């Protein structure tokens, strides 16, 4: 089975429902994990917006997800995982919140041949350094979000 990341909340390339954004409840969507490669010791998840005016904006950083995990339920991180700092400087999920226009949001799931041990509140760069040379496979889910009531800049 192919390593895949899906969501019952939205399809790849479609709009993320507003409840998962700063215009709604700002909670993470339900994610479903398929086909974790044999030999994976852990999973890591990074959610980013490459369309942010300030450059790549990190919305969520999670590591040490058990490889047998089949889903990440709405408004939760798997028990026992580490969560890092997002670009707002906060731990945990920060939903789409574009200042204007429609942005793309990439959920990237990494299957790793090791467990990642980082201090809570680590940054994405620290996770990437720890994952270097340990990535078995990557799965990606992309959703879009555009604000309907744009605030003046």
Give the pLDDT confidence of 9-37 residue by residue, as tens digits.
999 999 999 999 999 999 999 999 999 99
- Asked, for residue 86, whether it belongs to a domain, the answer is yes
What is the CATH number for 44? 3.90.280.10
In 3D, which of 100, 105, 69 has the Cα closest to residue 87?
A: 105
> Domain tally for the chain?
1
Instruction: State the pLDDT at residue 152.
Output: 39
Q: What is the extent of the structural domain holding 90?
A: 4-146
| Averaged pLDDT score across all residues of the chain | 94
Q: How confident is the model at residue 78 (pLDDT cuts 50, 70, 90)?
A: confident
């Amino acid at each position: 089975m192919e390593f895949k990341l899906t969501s019952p909340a939205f399809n790849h390339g479609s709009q993320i429902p507003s409840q998962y954004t700063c215009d709604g409840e700002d909670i993470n969507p339900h994610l479903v994990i398929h086909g974790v490669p044999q030999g994976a010791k852990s999973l890591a998840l990074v959610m980013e917006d490459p369309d942010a005016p300030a450059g790549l904006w990190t919305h969520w950083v999670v590591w040490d997800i058990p490889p047998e995990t089949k889903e990440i339920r709405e408004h939760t991180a798997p028990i026992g995982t580490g969560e890092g700092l997002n670009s707002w400087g906060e731990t945990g999920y920060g939903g789409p919140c574009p200042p204007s226009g429609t942005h793309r949001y990439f959920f990237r799931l990494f299957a790793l041949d090791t467990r990642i041990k980082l201090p809570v509140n680590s940054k994405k760069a620290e996770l990437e350094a720890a994952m270097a040379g340990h990535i078995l496979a990557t799965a990606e889910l992309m959703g879009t979000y555009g604000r309907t009531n744009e605030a003046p800049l």
